[in-house]
Amino acid sequence: MRTLRPLISTLIILAACGRFGAAPDVAPGQSIQLQVEQTAIVAGSTGRVQFVRAADSRCPLDAVCITAGAAVIDLLLSGSGPAQVVTLRLGEKPMTATYGGLLFEATALDPYPSRQPSLTPLLTLRNAAVSS
């Protein structure tokens, strides 16, 4: 049994790594969905974008509100220079962030709020352009 413990531990670790997988690539003009703390690699560059957190105060679908509210999204951009955190407000200008010739556009944050218990936020991010 002692000789099986290291093998079982290794298999559990490998299974966990396979579940999360490598960071997905996002090409110019392509959209990608990221969960909180998930990172994407920009194809053909050293750029990386990480969905750090979201604060969602949008009016729930099943409610009447005086104001529309907003979804505030923090991204960590890194690669060609010092890493920087940028904050985007979904539904307001600007919804884009630039970093090292890369342009990212936040297009959606799902699920849209309701009075039901919320699910894990899923950000749709478009790699709008890469400049030389």
* Tens-digit pLDDT profile for residues 12-63: 433 334 334 567 788 778 888 899 999 998 888 888 999 999 888 888 878 8
Instruction: Give the span between the Cα atoms of 121 and 71, in whole angstroms.
Output: 11
90 CB-near residues (< 8 Å, 6+ apart): 70, 71, 72, 73, 106, 108, 109
| Cβ–Cβ < 8 Å for 100, 47 | yes
Confidence band for 11, pLDDT divided at 50, 70 and 90? very low
Identify whether the C-beta of residue 120 lies closer than 8 Å to the C-beta of residue 35.
yes
Phi–psi pair at 53, nearest 5 degrees: -165, 165
Query: Is the C-alpha dihedral spanning 24, 28, 34, 36 positive or negative?
Result: positive
| C-alpha dist (Å) from residue 33 to 40, 57, 81 | 9, 20, 24
Report the alpha-carbon distance of residue 12 to residue 8 in Å, rounded: 6
pLDDT digit string, tens, across residues 68-117? 888 889 999 998 889 999 999 886 666 888 888 888 888 888 877 776 76
For residues 111 and 132, what is the distance between their CA atoms, to the nearest angstrom?
A: 35
pLDDT at 125 over 70: yes
Residue with tokens 């949008």: 58
The pLDDT of residue 19 is 38
Banded model confidence at residue 9, pLDDT cuts 50, 70, 90: very low
